[in-house]
Chain A
Amino acid sequence: MRQQTTAPIDQIKGWILAKHENRTDVAADEDLIDNRLVDSLSFVEFVFLIQELSGVEIDMDTLDIGDVRTLAAIQKRFLAG
């Protein structure tokens, strides 16, 4: 299992930062796609990570891409409560 002591949203942020060594932080409202932090070749891993950490199964046919565009949106849609 991934580290239980780190909040899920911070694990997602850590995953993004690990792929972008020139970055030290990702703002909660920063657009992950427009800013090319998640590209088409890393999107599958990104979605799997959100599913694993949230326990929510994501149906790609009904996914609103706005729900995964920012860390704040991910927190609100998949990790709150």
Chain B
Amino acid sequence: MTTALIDTSERLRDVLNRLSSMSVEDYYNPYQVFDWPDSLPQEMWWMSPELTTTHGTEIAAELSQEQLYRLSKYESVNFYSLNVHGIRELLIEVTRRIHTDEFATPSEFFHHFIGEENEHMWFFAQFCLRYGGKIYKQPRGGAETIPPSKAASLLVFARILIFEELVDHFNSRMALDERLDDTIRKINRIHHQDESRHIAFGRELVRILFEGFREQATPEELSQVSDYLGRYMTYSFESLFSPQVYRDAGIPNPFEVRRRLLTGPRRPEFEAQVFRKTHSFLTRYGLIQAPMAAPESAR
């Protein structure tokens, strides 16, 4: 059913042809496009302050300007580290599906997607290792969160879309932020340009995959998908709040700080800003049936 929907969608075919052409026309050599200065200035913002997890909170009010700059540096390294881990996961899933019967139609575009994501992973890792001295690790484990088995591909591409839209919220703003160093702005600008294509593709594919799923799903299965996506958005948002970052920035009691931020008054507003477009898309097509999920940290 889903295969038929993918193969017969004129709209998807048009999107794939247009995006594949753009990928070819806009192609750049990532290994030559960055200058990579030996170091970046420490006494400046590394991430737009409005995008840092402490912005507008009582925690930020307790920090000096120097500490805020330092925090923005490690928050940015955490942000790019999340990109590295997220890209690894999506590359595994897309590679698993390229040139299979179910995904024959988008496979040509998958080649561009995989190639571009590999290159993004490279420059994000370069940034972390050159200027942060490390890639932050991400705890991974626990039981697989089991969605309805028929929804496996739908949830893979919905997760990819959610992740890309979260990242793009940051990229699109930092690309234009003149308070940031040119290298930082450039990484964000280039990623934003490529991701605009990936997001356009992801929205189209997720819409079609959900259409196929909904035709056969029970109300309970639809509810499970909605719950899962809501939890995944919460999980993704909360991964921006890293105790290791707060520790590296010299902030005492990093776990308590994280908890205060996640339960504080700014969190709902920040989360709504990050997922405004994503939540609107998922709600419009019925993938999510309710408001934002309860925080993972408070469930």
Q: Which A residues are within 8 Å of any B CB, using their own CB?
A: 1, 18-19, 33-34, 36-48, 51-52, 58-61, 63, 65, 68
Contacts and interface: CB of A to CB of B under 8 A. Distances in A.
Contact of A42 (B144, B239, B299): B299
Contacts of A40: 140-145
A51 B142 contact: no
A23 B252 CA distance: 35
Contact of A43 (B137, B139, B146, B256): B139
B34 interface: no
Contacts of A63: 141
Nearest to B142: A43
B138 A60 contact: yes
Contacts of A59: 137
A45 B294 CA distance: 14
Contacts of A68: 141
Contact of B296 (A33, A41, A51): A41
Q: 5 closest A-B pairs (Cβ-Cβ)?
A: A43-B142, A52-B255, A47-B139, A36-B143, A39-B143
Nearest to B293: A41
Given A33-B143, A36-B146, 15 more contacts: A18-B299, A39-B144, A43-B139, A43-B140, A44-B139, A45-B296, A45-B297, A47-B139, A48-B255, A48-B258, A52-B256, A58-B139, A60-B138, A60-B139, A63-B141
Interface of B: 137-146, 231-232, 235, 238-239, 243, 255-256, 258, 296-297, 299
Contacts of B145: 39-41
A46 B243 contact: no
A33 B146 CA distance: 12
Nearest to A18: B299
Nearest to A65: B141
Contacts of B299: 18-19, 42
B137 A44 contact: no
A44 B136 CA distance: 13
Contacts of A52: 243, 255-256
B244 to A, nearest CB: 9
A60 B140 contact: yes
Contacts of B146: 36
Contacts of B137: 59-61
A59 B296 CA distance: 22
B138 A41 contact: no
Contacts of A1: 256
Contacts of B238: 44-45
A40 B143 CA distance: 6
B243 A51 contact: yes
A48 B254 CA distance: 10
B143 A51 contact: no
Contacts of B239: 44
A60 B297 CA distance: 19
26 contacts: A33-B143, A34-B143, A36-B143, A39-B145, A40-B141, A41-B145, A41-B231, A41-B232, A42-B142, A42-B296, A42-B299, A43-B141, A43-B142, A44-B138, A44-B239, A44-B296, A46-B142, A48-B139, A48-B243, A48-B255, A48-B258, A52-B255, A58-B139, A60-B138, A60-B140, A65-B141
Contacts of A34: 143
